[in-house]
Structure 1
Amino acid sequence: MKKIFFYVGCLVLLALSGSACSGQGKANKADTADSTEVSVDSVAADSTGYIVKVGEMAPDFTITLTDGKQLTLSELRGKVVMLQFTASWCGVCRKEMPFIEKDIWLKNKNNPDFALIGIDRDEPLDKVLAFAKSTGVTYPLGLDPGADIFAKYALRESGITRNVLIDRDGKIVKLTRLYNEEEFSSLVAKINEMLAGK
């Protein structure tokens, strides 16, 4: 009887961990007031797990890209910046990434006023490189060990894919979750508008 309970418990845990990408995982909400410091303890999450809001300054971080270079978000001030939170195990990410490559990166990669960073959630370099190759993306991907960068933007246990669009002043202007054609089109349109309105 104990073995049956153990196996059922394992199956439940597997089901919960597998739902992170699809957004079906449970997200805890903090009941405390807003604070300028972004942490799970001090900021309430929205219904999609984001702990940041449109209009707020994007939390700063330094990331190591797959080519070994380090990049700090605040050093990109003056540019329109898109962050894409992703991982190789996320089917929705794999569906969305070729569209990011074609409709955003290839159209804007030579624009000095634009930056795109894919942030791979808690996977080793070899896996991230294989992921980029299998999805055919050429935009920069960086490593997020322990999902510590992700946790500055959303509850650590909440799912991906997520895109965060940041203006030239470092403020968040758009947040997306999962892949939806209409929402993705509005993201592309917003990027085009921001780049045209220099």
Structure 2
Amino acid sequence: MKRTILFLLISLSVFAVYAQTTEKTNADDRGYIVKVGDLAPDNFSLELTNGKKTTLKALRGKIVVLQFTASWCSVCRKEMPYLERDVWLPNKDKDLVLIGVDRDEPLEIVKKFHQDMKITYPLALDPGADIFGQFADKKSGVTRNVVIDRNGRIAFLTRLYDPEEFATMKKVIGNLLTNTSAK
């Protein structure tokens, strides 16, 4: 009996270590569990703060930028004016959709955050960070952008706000917008 219990305990310990190792190797060093070239997960609905809903499937044919954010995130707040000025405003009439996906905060807080940040692109709710968890390990942080091409494939991923990476993201978005062959 003692041997059986010992064997079970050792087996469970080995399995736990394997599960943790597998989970960590599935996420890249920035916490992403998706990579450029992957088909973006699209088995979720984005509920905007105005009550409207959309899906990535409904947005196919457009370039989509999902900005994972939260009101408590200082780096998000730093990046948002650049997203507004350099990505959203010059491209909102060019088949680009930018949606800030707010990580696990209630509607009232997200609406106030939207107003405080003086942005015009929409914010969506992400209760339980379930949408976030389809793109990145839930233990990793926000301030990340996922650029999705017209066919639903991930074209670019950012983490934190780095001006050089942000400039590259803008170029990728510009190239995707000018490439009309996939429309």
Flag structure 2 segments of 5+ consecutive residues without an equivalent.
Answer: 1-18
Flag structure 1 segments of 5+ consecutive residues without an equivalent.
Answer: 1-28, 33-39
TM-superposed deviation, 1:31: 4.2
State the Cα deviation string for residues 117-159 of structure 1 (Å, max 9, x = none): 1100000111011111111111010000000000000011110
The whole-number CA distance in structure 2 between the counterparts of 1:110 and 1:173 is 20
State the Cα deviation string for residues 15-62 of structure 1 (Å, max 9, x = none): xxxxxxxxxxxxxx8544xxxxxxx69x70000110001110000121
Q: Report the identity percentage.
A: 57
Residue of structure 2 equivalent to 1:51: 33
Residue of structure 2 equivalent to 1:92: 75
Residue of structure 1 equivalent to 2:11: none
Across the aligned residues of Structure 1 and Structure 2, the Cα RMSD in angstroms comes to 1.5
Residue of structure 2 equivalent to 1:81: 64
- Pick the structure with more helix per residue: 2
Matched to 1:72, the amino acid is T
For this pair of structures, how many residues does the alignment match? Answer: 161
Matched to 2:120, the amino acid is T
Residue of structure 2 equivalent to 1:120: 102
Cα gap change, 1:164 to 1:30, in 2 (>3 Å): farther
Residue 186, structure 1, aligned to residue 168, structure 2: yes
TM-score computed with the length of structure 1 as normaliser:
0.78
Contact 1:30 1:45 in 2 (8 A): no
The whole-number CA distance in structure 2 between the counterparts of 1:191 and 1:50 is 20
Matched to 1:66, the amino acid is T
Matched to 1:83, the amino acid is L
Q: Equivalent residues in 2 for 1:155-174 (5 A)?
A: 155-174=137-156
The whole-number CA distance in structure 2 between the counterparts of 1:48 and 1:177 is 7
TM-score computed with the length of structure 2 as normaliser:
0.84
State the Cα deviation string for residues 83-107 of structure 1 (Å, max 9, x = none): 0000000000000000000001101
The whole-number CA distance in structure 2 between the counterparts of 1:77 and 1:108 is 17
Residue of structure 2 equivalent to 1:141: 123
Runs of 4+ with deviation above 3 angstroms: 29-32
Contact 1:163 1:175 in 2 (8 A): yes
Residue of structure 2 equivalent to 1:24: none
Give 1 or 2 for the bigger CA radius of gyration: 2
Contact 1:86 1:160 in 2 (8 A): yes
Given the alignment, which residue of 49, 67, 74 partners 2:50? 67
Matched to 2:32, the amino acid is Y
